[in-house]
């Protein structure tokens, strides 16, 4: 990859400049990657572990960075140090960094990246990544490469879904974007292991953006179920559930029987049957569990965008022509109000 890059550069330059171009190529080779390690309430968010695996494709030296409030960072660093594949953990602590406010965190990153000769920075394509990284791109006048599902070791070629996953775009980034700012679709990469790593910790002098906005409060949906984005099994409901009561009373026993997280289509969320944070699709979460059970979901393009990478898709729907049956591995045409409770019961008894 090194030779090819050098060749390309030298073709474009005169022979007098060829020394320069090989210096540039060398610098590129020596450059290193950084993974933005997201965390909440003093705990590492494991979607960042997928970003580590993506970063390692480049074969560069890869460090992690933990930015947060003083109260939070210590615990997160302890976890972060053990991530396999990271040579170093940079850290910056300030109460200004609490709640990952983009106006404070992005300037901190913008200062660290050039200081540490970072060529690529990766984050998970989560709400935090999607909020902080575009601002970082604006600060550095660099493009952003969002939601990648693959990348090449050359470090300038990335693959990402467009049009709600109905087309796959492969792009080559220009040298004009000196630092590649990349978010990673977490379901497209494995997660780095946490355990045997022993990265050194280095505090970095960062800066805050003197944020014009401030955090007020948050309201989280409390659930005893597995987290939707990372759950190995998901049971999702659509408009056909008809009410919030049904949504819970019909889906919960099945989710319990399978040990699954609960998701929802946009129609179910818009109708108020389920919370926004449960929405699966182009504008909600993208999941790729081993089992996805779609209950009363027709299978609109926007919903399929969020779940069609699931290993096994089961669909239960009254309408035999619902598009969901075109992607489902197993389809059952039935009234969900009868079939789902029956299925939950039979799974429970099969387990016993």
Partner 1 sequence: MRPTLPSLKYNILVPVKRSIDYAVKIRVASDGKGVDTNVKHSMNPFDEIAVEEAIRLREKKPSVVSSITALSIGPPKAADTIRTALAMGADSGIHITVPESTVVEPISVAHALKKVIEDKKFDLVIMGKQAIDDDSGSTGGMLAGMLGWGQGSFASKLEVEEGGKVNVTREIDGGLEKVEGKLPMIVTTDLRLNEPRYASLPNIMKAKKKKIETLKPEDLGLDFTPRFETISVSEPPKRQGGGKVESVDELVGKMKEAGLI
Q: Annotated binding site for FAD: which residue ranges?
A: 239, 265-266, 279-283, 296-303, 317
Nearer Cβ to partner 1 (121/136)? 136
Chain centroid to CA 298: how far? 26
Burial 140-164 (b: 16+ CB within 10 A, else e): bebebbbbbbbbeeebbebbbbeeb
Question: Tokens 């953990």 correspond to what residue?
Answer: 89
Please give the C-alpha separations between residue 351 and each of 233, 257, 295, in angstroms, as whole numbers: 16, 9, 22
Residue 201 CB, shortest distance to partner 1, in Å, is 27
Residue 103 CB, shortest distance to partner 1, in Å, is 6
Residue 278 CB, shortest distance to partner 1, in Å, is 10
Of 3, 14, 15, 176, the one binding partner 1 (CB under 8 A) is: 176
Nearer Cβ to partner 1 (41/245)? 41
Residue 293 CB, shortest distance to partner 1, in Å, is 9
Of 4, 27, 170, 318, the one binding partner 1 (CB under 8 A) is: 170
Residue 202 CB, shortest distance to partner 1, in Å, is 26
Please give the C-alpha separations between residue 250 and each of 155, 156, 187, 228, in angstroms, as whole numbers: 48, 48, 28, 18
Of 10, 207, 249, 302, the one binding partner 1 (CB under 8 A) is: 302
Q: Is 239 an interacting residue with respect to partner 1 (CB under 8 A)?
A: no
- Please give the DSSP secondary-structure letter assigned to residue 119: E
CA atoms within 13 A on the CB side of 91: 25
List the binding residues.
239, 265-266, 279-283, 296-303, 317
| Residues 23-82 close enough to bind partner 1 by CB under 8 A | none
Q: Is 242 an interacting residue with respect to partner 1 (CB under 8 A)?
A: no
Of 11, 12, 216, 224, the one binding partner 1 (CB under 8 A) is: 216
Of 103, 111, 194, 204, the one binding partner 1 (CB under 8 A) is: 103
Binding mask 258-297 for partner 1 (x = CB under 8 A): x-------x---x----xxx----xx-x----xx------
Q: Is 16 an interacting residue with respect to partner 1 (CB under 8 A)?
A: no
- Please give the DSSP secondary-structure letter assigned to residue 324: G
Nearer Cβ to partner 1 (77/181)? 181
The C-alpha angle with vertex 169 and arms to 164 and 174, in degrees rounded to 5, equals: 130
Of 98, 164, 201, 204, the one binding partner 1 (CB under 8 A) is: 164
The answer to whether residues 104 and 97 touch, using CB atoms and an 8 Å cutoff, is: yes
Residue 7 CB, shortest distance to partner 1, in Å, is 17
The answer to whether residues 145 and 125 touch, using CB atoms and an 8 Å cutoff, is: no
Residues in the chain: 352
Residue 326 CB, shortest distance to partner 1, in Å, is 5
Give the bridge partners for 181, in sequence order: 121, 144
Which residue pairs from 159-164 have beta carbons closer than 8 angstroms and sit at least 24 positions apart in sequence? Answer: 160/185, 161/185, 161/305, 164/281, 164/282, 164/301, 164/302, 164/304, 164/305
Question: 214: Cβ–Cβ under 8 A, 6 or more apart, which residues?
Answer: 101
Single out the segment in contact with partner 1 by CB under 8 A; choices: 20-28, 59-67, 143-151, 199-207.
143-151
Question: 50: Cβ–Cβ under 8 A, 6 or more apart, which residues?
Answer: 124, 184, 185, 186, 187, 188, 189, 190, 191, 192
Of 29, 82, 99, 239, the one binding partner 1 (CB under 8 A) is: 99
| Residues 309-348 close enough to bind partner 1 by CB under 8 A | 312-314, 320, 325-334, 339, 342-343, 346-347
Number of residues that bind partner 1 (CB under 8 A): 91
Residue 284 CB, shortest distance to partner 1, in Å, is 9
Of 191, 225, 242, 308, the one binding partner 1 (CB under 8 A) is: 308
């Amino acid at each position: 990859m090194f030779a090819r890059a050098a060749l390309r550069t030298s073709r474009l330059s005169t022979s007098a400049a060829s020394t320069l171009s090989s210096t540039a190529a060398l610098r590129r080779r020596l450059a290193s990657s950084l993974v933005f390690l997201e965390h909440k309430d003093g705990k590492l968010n494991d979607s960042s572990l997928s970003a580590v695996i993506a970063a390692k494709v480049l074969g560069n030296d890869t460090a992690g960075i933990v930015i947060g409030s003083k109260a939070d960072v210590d615990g997160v660093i302890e976890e972060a140090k053990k991530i396999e594949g990271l040579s170093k953990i940079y850290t910056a602590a300030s109460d200004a960094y609490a709640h990952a406010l983009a106006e404070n965190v992005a300037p901190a990153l913008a200062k660290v990246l050039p200081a540490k000769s970072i060529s690529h920075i990766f984050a998970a394509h989560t709400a935090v990544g999607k909020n902080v990284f575009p601002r970082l791109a604006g600060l550095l006048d660099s493009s952003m490469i969002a939601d990648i599902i693959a990348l090449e070791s050359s470090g300038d070629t990335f693959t990402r879904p467009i049009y709600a996953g109905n087309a796959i775009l492969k792009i080559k980034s220009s040298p004009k974007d000196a630092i590649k700012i990349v978010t990673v679709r977490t379901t497209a990469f494995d997660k780095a292991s946490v355990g045997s790593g022993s990265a050194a910790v280095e505090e970095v002098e960062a800066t805050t953006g003197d944020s014009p906005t401030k955090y007020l409060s948050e309201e989280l949906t409390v659930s005893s179920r597995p987290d939707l984005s990372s759950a190995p099994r998901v049971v999702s409901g659509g408009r056909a559930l008809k009410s919030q009561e049904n949504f819970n009373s019909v889906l919960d026993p099945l989710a319990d029987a399978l040990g699954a997280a609960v998701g929802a289509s946009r129609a179910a969320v818009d109708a108020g049957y389920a919370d926004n944070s449960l929405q699966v699709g182009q504008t909600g979460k993208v999941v790729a569990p081993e089992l996805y059970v779609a209950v009363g979901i027709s299978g609109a393009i926007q919903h399929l965008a969020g779940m069609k990478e699931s290993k096994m898709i089961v669909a239960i729907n009254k309408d035999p022509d619902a598009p969901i049956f075109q992607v489902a591995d197993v389809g059952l045409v039935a009234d969900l109000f009868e079939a789902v409770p029956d299925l939950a019961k039979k799974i429970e008894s099969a387990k016993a």
